[in-house]
């Protein structure tokens, strides 16, 4: 279990807090808008009403005691930047911040953030790959070059095993799991025989996946 300090309870903050709590983590939230705080009380039990840009208030929170500090202020970049600087100055162990523009991401990283999530852009890119590509059902970006994709089984693989298709050596991708009937089966055996009613979770470069899904 990790202890998380969530700053801002807008939609992004509420959704992230809910997931963190569902995973068994301890979450404290800071929200200066009492209406937003009231709307989130059924999600986060420990909410402090206050201004995250007030260094005195933040010092009283004990920032250094949290494993992760999340700056989820999305509609006021100046406040997000000030809160990030204060968290760093007060000994924040790991600061995750949200950005809406490239320049904001750069400034947050330069001023104390350890990682910046570009939520709207990342979701837009994920949806573009998912709905704009043939035979790709979902994907998770790992690096600018590599990602994990959920793809349809190439027709030429039907009835053949992983080892028969020489998947890694011929296509330069790794099969992490198969998916059938909504259930995921991790690390399939090399003798696994492909069928038309399953999908594959594969890791590889964008270029190699594009070539594979054209088959």
**Mean pLDDT of residues grouped by 10 in the chain (215 residues)?**
94 91 94 94 95 96 96 91 97 94 92 89 74 82 90 95 95 96 94 96 93 82
CA–CA separation, 47 vs 7, rounded Å? Answer: 10
Q: Is 10 exposed, middle or buried (0-12, 13-18, 19+ CB in 10 A)?
A: middle
Q: Which domain holds residue 87?
A: 3-117
7 and 110 share one domain: yes
- Check whether residue 14 and residue 82 sit in a common domain: yes
Please tell me the predicted confidence (pLDDT) of residue 111: 97
| Closest by CA position to 52, among listed 19, 6, 114, 91 | 6
**CATH number, domain containing residue 134:** 3.30.70.1450
Is 209 in the same domain as 106?
A: no
Q: Do 38 and 68 fall into the same domain?
A: yes
Residue at which a domain ends, from 75, 96, 117 = 117
Question: Do residue 12 and residue 103 come from a single domain?
Answer: yes
pTM greater than 0.85: no
The span from the CA of 40 to the CA of 13, in Å, is 10
Model pLDDT, residue 74: 75
How long is the chain? Answer: 215
Q: Which residues pair with 91 in a beta bridge?
A: none
Q: Domain boundary residue among 60, 88, 117?
A: 117
- Nearest alpha carbon to residue 7 among 101, 121, 36: 36
Compute the half-sphere exposure of residue 89: CA atoms within 13 Å on the CB side of its CA. 14
Give the CATH number of the domain where residue 65 resides. 3.40.50.720
- 36 and 130 share a domain? no
Instruction: Out of 117, 135, 164, pick the residue that ends a domain.
Output: 117
Q: Rounded to an integer, what distance in angstroms lies between the CA atom of residue 181 and that of residue 154? A: 18
The per-residue pLDDT for 215 is 62
Instruction: Give yes or no for a contact between 58 and 37, defined as CB atoms under 8 angstroms apart.
Output: no
Do 175 and 197 share a domain, yes or no? yes
Angle, alpha carbons 26-31-37 (nearest 5°): 85
């Amino acid at each position: 279990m990790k202890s998380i300090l969530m700053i801002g309870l807008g939609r992004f903050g509420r959704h992230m807090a809910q997931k963190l709590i569902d995973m068994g983590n301890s979450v404290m939230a800071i929200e200066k808008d009492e209406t937003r705080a009231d709307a989130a009380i059924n999600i986060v039990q420990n909410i402090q009403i206050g201004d995250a840009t007030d260094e005195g208030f933040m010092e009283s929170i004990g920032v250094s005691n949290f494993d992760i500090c999340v700056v989820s202020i999305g509609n006021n970049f100046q406040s997000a930047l000030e809160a990030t600087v204060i968290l760093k100055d007060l000994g924040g162990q790991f600061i995750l911040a949200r950005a809406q523009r490239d320049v904001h991401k750069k400034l947050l990283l330069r001023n104390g953030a350890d990682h910046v999530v570009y939520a709207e852009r990342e979701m837009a890119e994920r949806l573009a790959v998912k709905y704009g590509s043939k035979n790709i059902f979902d994907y998770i970006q790992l690096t600018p070059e590599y990602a994990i994709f959920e793809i349809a089984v190439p027709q030429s693989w039907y009835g053949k095993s992983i080892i028969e298709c020489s998947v890694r050596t011929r296509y330069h991708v790794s099969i992490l799991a198969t998916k059938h009937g909504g259930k995921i089966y991790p690390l399939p055996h090399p003798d696994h025989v492909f069928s038309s009613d399953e999908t594959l979770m594969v890791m590889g470069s964008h270029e190699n996946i594009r070539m594979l899904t054209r088959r």
